[in-house]
Structure 1
Amino acid sequence: MSDLFEASGIHPPDAPLADRLRPASLDQVVGQDHLLGEGGPIRRMIEAGRLGSMILWGPPGTGKTTIARLLAKAAGYQYQQISAVFSGVADLKKAFEQARVRRAAGQSTLLFVDEIHRFNRAQQDGFLPFVEEGVVTLVGATTENPSFELNGALLSRSQVFVLKRLDDAALNQLLIRAEAEEGLPLPLTLEARQALLALADGDGRYLLTMAETLFALPPEPLDVQALAATLQRRAPAYDKSREEHYNLISALHKSVRGSDPDAALYWLARMLNGGEDPLYLARRIVRMAVEDIGEADPLSLLVANAAKDTYDFLGSPEGELALAQAVVHLATAPKSVGVYEAFKAAKRAAAETGSLMPPAHIRNAPTKLMKSLGYGKGYQYDPDTEEGFSGANFFPDEMDRRVFYKPKGEGHEEKVKARLERWAAMRAAKSGTS
């Protein structure tokens, strides 16, 4: 019976609120105007009367399944749905055979594959001949980055459309429809209603599930505290092994590099709230200290390592404050990639020059034979020189002197830069090249 209701677009009265409020047309879909609105790419497909295979990529509760169903309806295609979680090879073969029979009868099939990234590479390859022959128009839905999770061959035969998480305006539209469906307002104060939108975190289906719980309560409005006691806050959408992890750590690192302590603290909190391993964050903070700050503020490396040690000692949640302190220190420190760039250049030079020996005067001379060969001859101990600087050559004799480290002049490096410039002038004077 439920299949008959679904096919007709009518839902039984005891269906969940989210099902009863499923849009009946693409115009009723909220929050995806960039795809479905005037001039949007999916809208243009409908107007042209021909659908192409596509991948709908977006967070949960943004309308992927609904859009696929309504696309089939608008284009006059037969809608067929399978889930990669529950379907195997036999289910795929059956779906393709049914689509082939329909095609022979002049009926096109839109095959919607939910969680398409769950199919392995071989199973994904199995779609290719049926998509190429036009047996099915494939619409795949995924919450994961298609670039990482889907075969290149399948992606090349599909357009990828990115669905946005629902903003507060779109979520509020859903609440207004829910209130009209139920015939009564949500029992919430204005502040609690805003808090409910925040709890939904861009997921329309989750919002309507929470609203359904609230409609069953007495009509007295709940404030924010009462709402929090009534509804369980869910964990934020965050997968430590997938794209969201890399997006957020990139945001944290670039906020520190961009000297924005407030944004850096926000992304640090987002990752910790999502369950990220604090020691992973500590390692990344140490990397920031050596990669983006370096000699502009040598103390940053000590602070970063101390934060790691502090977290090791205290654990969560107290130790997380040390990470926050390190992030603020690094974000507010002067920045320099002088050492980072110098080491990369030195490594390239080392690879180019191979096995050149050090000049004889700085070679180790533990034996008489080595001394007789000139090892260590003429070496000057710099601290004993009048100026504390000998100006000697420390590069291989066969290699011209190169400058790898070029201080940027920020923070501590301002003094380092002046010192190196003075030594360069002294070196040139001693060698007679000034």
Structure 2
Amino acid sequence: MSDLFDLAPQEEGGPSAAPRPLADRMRPRRLEDVVGQDHLLGTEGPIGAMLSSRSLSSLILWGPPGVGKTTIARLLAKETDLHFEQISAIFTGVQDLRKVFDAARLRRRQGRGTLLFVDEIHRFNRAQQDGFLPLMEDGTIVLVGATTENPSFELNAALLSRAQVLTLHRLTLADLERLTQQAEKELARPLPLQVAAREAMLEMADGDGRALLNLIEQVASWRVQGSLDTAALAGRLRRRASNYDKSGDGHYNLISALHKSVRGSDPDAALYWFARMLEGGEDPRFLARRITRMAVEDIGLADPQAQAVCIDAWNTYERLGSPEGELALAQAVIYLALAPKSNAAYSAYKAAREAARRTGSLAPPMHILNAPTRMMKEQGFGSGYQYDHDAEDAFSGQEYFPEGMKRGVYYVPVDRGFERDLRKRVDFFAGLRGRRQKG
């Protein structure tokens, strides 16, 4: 499927005069006509610099749908006089690749290079990706791959080392408005939309230029009196489905945004990302697990009730289902965002685990070992143990770390929330322990 094209009119007459979709009619004929990617195509951008030096290297174009990946590849071939060959990793098998490679080798012997554009390149397996390497190294092909997934996760290191990864941006509302104005010029009439409805249409495109052109084509085909308001537009159009893959980048990016918004004590942002994930079709049970994890990692003992709030919200969802159960999860998100934050327990746990790995199999001190047999008593097991309940303040101050091991300090409570009180207790027992052991 072709990617975003800017709105440059095609020649009149001939085959191009046959009815075609608006998006197909608006393919740009120059790289400078592509909208929204000036950071790559400008004179100071990486592609602009390559073209000015006449040295095009292999590229991986990473970005969301409808932002120009296919169009840029096609125009790069035109600018550099390379033969343009396009394949899709979804539909191309091993035999197809061999034919493409053989044709590129023949073309090279005849004195012309090949720009091989591979759409959805991340869908090729490791062996298929490795197949491109010899042809990239000897100059038979300039590879331009397009992917919506993070290349560092989906592509081989060997392939990435031979190609430059360029990130394409989601189109802004200003970019989409520019496309709309050019479309109206091409159509020779304005869209029958009020200002607010026009803005709503741009938002429906969700940063996808191709989706916007399809929406514009629908609106332009309506026979209406006057201009439509937002409600009338919503009744005729449906919002483009969100770009959200529950197993891909969108999933991890949004849960990261939710987690960091909670950690940053921003309930509004946290609710927004929570809602975005629900709208994208995320399983509320996954969200329930993650917000419980947030309570454990980022709030901890600063508010011991936070974890219980999350578990209660999770149980409420299991009992009520959607949509009421999701409201309980939303309330938990708000609670967590506004709760005092502390990772002291989390940090203490990690430090204790590291100390446990480092110290190996040091035995507990003899005085805190049980002595269920006479032989163990005779060997000193349990000798000298002081029963804390019999001591003043129910605190003996004895040492419980292994003999010869330097006493560790792992838990350092923060001066926030309930941990203020815990800090006082830690300090109290530390001082008391020092006095008892000294005495």
Shorter-chain TM-score tier: over 0.9
CA shift at 1:207, angstroms? 0.6
Mapped partners of 2:224, 2:34: distance in 1: 29
Pick from 212, 215, 223: which aligns with 1:218? 223
Mapped partners of 2:182, 2:43: distance in 1: 23
- Distance verdict in 2 for CA 1:9–1:363, change over 3 Å: farther
Pick from 70, 84, 87: which aligns with 2:92? 87
- Distance verdict in 2 for CA 1:346–1:310, change over 3 Å: same
Native 8 Å contact 1:11 1:19 kept in 2: no
The answer to whether structure 1 residue 352 and structure 2 residue 332 are counterparts is no
CA shift at 1:358, angstroms? 2.5
- What residue is the counterpart of 2:183 in the other structure? 178
CA shift at 1:75, angstroms? 1.4
Listed one character per residue, the Cα deviations across residues 223-264 of structure 1 (whole Å, up to 9, x for unaligned) are: 111111111223211111112211111111111111111111
CA shift at 1:136, angstroms? 1.2
Native 8 Å contact 2:244 2:251 kept in 1: yes
Pick from 7, 15, 24: which aligns with 1:19? 24
- What residue is the counterpart of 2:115 in the other structure? 110
Q: Which amino acid aligns with 2:82?
A: Y
Mapped partners of 1:302, 1:386: distance in 2: 34
Mapped partners of 1:244, 1:386: distance in 2: 58
The answer to whether structure 1 residue 74 and structure 2 residue 65 are counterparts is no
- What residue is the counterpart of 1:274 in the other structure? 280
Pick from 316, 323, 328: which aligns with 2:329? 323
Q: Which amino acid aligns with 2:232?
A: A
Mapped partners of 1:289, 1:98: distance in 2: 58
Q: Which amino acid aligns with 1:248?
A: L
- What residue is the counterpart of 2:35 in the other structure? 30
Pick from 308, 311, 327: which aligns with 1:305? 311
Mapped partners of 1:175, 1:13: distance in 2: 22
Q: Which amino acid aligns with 1:364?
A: N
- Distance verdict in 2 for CA 1:400–1:101, change over 3 Å: closer
Native 8 Å contact 1:9 1:24 kept in 2: no
Mapped partners of 1:45, 1:338: distance in 2: 50
SS of corresponding position for 1:322: helix
Mapped partners of 2:96, 2:16: distance in 1: 26
Counting only pairs closer than 5 Å after superposition, residues 16-415 of structure 1 correspond to structure 2 as 16-220=21-225, 221-415=227-421
SS of corresponding position for 1:319: helix
Listed one character per residue, the Cα deviations across residues 376-421 of structure 1 (whole Å, up to 9, x for unaligned) are: 4443333343323221222223333222111122111111111211
Listed one character per residue, the Cα deviations across residues 28-86 of structure 1 (whole Å, up to 9, x for unaligned) are: 10000000123111011111222111111111100111111111111122212111122
Structure 1 portions without partners, runs of 5+: none
Listed one character per residue, the Cα deviations across residues 274-304 of structure 1 (whole Å, up to 9, x for unaligned) are: 1111111111111111111111111111112
Number of residue-to-residue matches in the alignment? 428
Q: TM-score, normalised by structure 2?
A: 0.93
- Distance verdict in 2 for CA 1:20–1:41, change over 3 Å: same
Listed one character per residue, the Cα deviations across residues 320-362 of structure 1 (whole Å, up to 9, x for unaligned) are: 1111111111111111111111111211222222333323333
Pick from 417, 425, 431: which aligns with 2:423? 417
Mapped partners of 2:293, 2:262: distance in 1: 11
CA shift at 1:105, angstroms? 2.3
SS of corresponding position for 1:387: helix
Q: Which amino acid aligns with 1:342?
A: A
SS of corresponding position for 2:288: helix
Mapped partners of 1:323, 1:109: distance in 2: 54
CA RMSD of aligned residues (A): 2.0
Mapped partners of 1:119, 1:12: distance in 2: 37
Listed one character per residue, the Cα deviations across residues 126-184 of structure 1 (whole Å, up to 9, x for unaligned) are: 11111111111111111111111111111111111111011111111111121111111
The answer to whether structure 1 residue 432 and structure 2 residue 438 are counterparts is yes
Mapped partners of 1:262, 1:10: distance in 2: 53
Q: Which amino acid aligns with 2:351?
A: A
